[in-house]
Amino acid sequence: MTISVGLLGTLVTICLIIVAAAPVLLLILWLRDWKRKSLW
Where do contacts with other proteins occur on this chain (CB under 8 A)?
1-3, 5, 8-9, 11-12, 14-16, 18-20, 22-23, 25-27, 29-30, 32-33, 36, 38-40
CA angle 16, 1, 5 (to 5 degrees): 35
Q: Is there a contact between 24 and 15 (Cβ–Cβ < 8 Å)?
A: no
CB of 10 to other proteins, least distance (A): 9
CB of 6 to other proteins, least distance (A): 9
CB of 28 to other proteins, least distance (A): 8
Neighbouring C-alpha atoms within 13 Å toward the C-beta of 4: 3
